[in-house]
Homo-oligomer: A and B are copies of this chain.
Amino acid sequence: MKDRPYTSLIECLREAGLRPTRQRLALARLLFDEGDRHVTAEQLYAEARREEIPVSLATIYNTLNQFRKMGLLREVVVDSGRSWFDTNLDDHHHFFHEVSGTLTDFRTEDLAVKGLPTIPAGMEVDRVDVIVRIRDSRQTPSTL
């Protein structure tokens, strides 16, 4: 992971018909180099600027959506108004901290979802999202 850090990602991009460009590789490093992360487009953009990666906000959006389409990222919707992208691809769910507006994962096994309701005829389940909205025992968010 030190000498040829991008080989697998380069392959992955190529297989999806995406060129392994400067921007895509730099963003991939930010996203995947240090464990599971949850980012919004604006956050990733700010981080890229901090690291002096030359990339536009349009490319941030393009890249996040491409990575999602090729299964490198999962989109999480908790807030209306912005999208979160999650690098953890395992089967899991989320805590949403209502005061700080941040996400944390928890494993699916930690929640006993033992069955599913009857699905309407002709439909199939794409995915089940569980959001556990939590807050500090003392504070009440003004948005409630």
By a CB distance below 8 angstroms, the chain B residues around A111 are 113, 115-117
Q: How far is the CA of A106 from the CA of B119 in the complex (A)?
A: 10
Contact flags A49-78 to B (C-beta < 8 A → 1, else 0)? 000000000000000000001000001011
Residues in A105-144 with C-beta less than 8 Å from chain B? 106-107, 110-120, 122-137, 144
For chain A, which range describes its interface: under 10, 10 to 19, 20 to 34, or 35 or more residues?
A: 35 or more
Nearest CB of B to A141, in Å: 8
Cβ contact within 8 Å between A129 and B131: yes
Cβ contact within 8 Å between A134 and B119: yes
Q: Chain B: which residue is nearest A95 at the CB level? A: B120
Kindly identify which residue among B123, B125, B135, B144 contacts A123, using a CB–CB cutoff of 8 Å.
B135
By a beta-carbon cutoff of 8 Å, the part of chain A in contact with chain B is 69, 75, 77-83, 93, 95, 97-98, 104, 106-107, 110-120, 122-137, 144
What are 18 sample pairs from A and B whose C-beta atoms fall under 8 A apart?
A: A69-B144, A77-B78, A80-B82, A95-B119, A95-B120, A106-B118, A107-B117, A110-B117, A113-B130, A120-B134, A122-B137, A123-B134, A125-B132, A126-B134, A126-B144, A128-B131, A129-B130, A129-B133
